[in-house]
Amino acid sequence: MKIFTVEQANEIIPVIRRKLERLKYLYAAVAALRDQAKLAAAASQSGGGGMIGGSIYVEGLNEMSKVMSGLGNDGIQLKDISRGLIDFPCMRDGRVVLLCWQLGEPESVEWWHETEAGFAGRQRL
């Protein structure tokens, strides 16, 4: 597990913000095609198949997967795509806590919470 300082998290937020905005856009685009994908999957099981926008749907899923994997590989925990909510593991008073940030907040981390507390347990730094 990668451990971040507040300074390290703040340094990468501008880049992460752009990734989260892209991920949020892709999530909405894929969600808009989800019902069509389910119908196409059911049709393909009975001999039919195909879907208008199918390649867009698959490309969106693939790009979402890449962005999410990249965040995870960077040690960032994605908590909610639609809100752009992420956590950065951090040491505080000798224990691991999570620095918490989401789209729409200033480009600096201002909140943290215990690992088991979640968003509802956020406290100001």
Tell me, yes or no, if the pTM score tops 0.75. yes
Please give the pLDDT value at position 73.
96
Q: Which of 24, 8, 9, 14 is nearest to 107 (CA)?
A: 14
| Low-confidence residues of the chain: pLDDT under 50 | 46-47
Please give the pLDDT value at position 49.
58
Strand intervals (E) in 36-122: 77-80, 85-92, 95-102, 111-114
Please give the pLDDT value at position 51.
59
Backbone region of residue 71 per phi and psi (left: phi > 0; alpha: psi in -120 to 50; beta: other values) = alpha
Tens digit of each residue's pLDDT (9 = 90 or more) over 83-107: 999 999 999 999 999 999 999 999 9
For the chain, the domains span 6-124
Half-sphere exposure of 99 (CA within 13 A, CB side): 22
CA distance 74 to 19: 12
8-state DSSP, 120: G
CA distance 112 to 49: 48
Please give the pLDDT value at position 28.
92
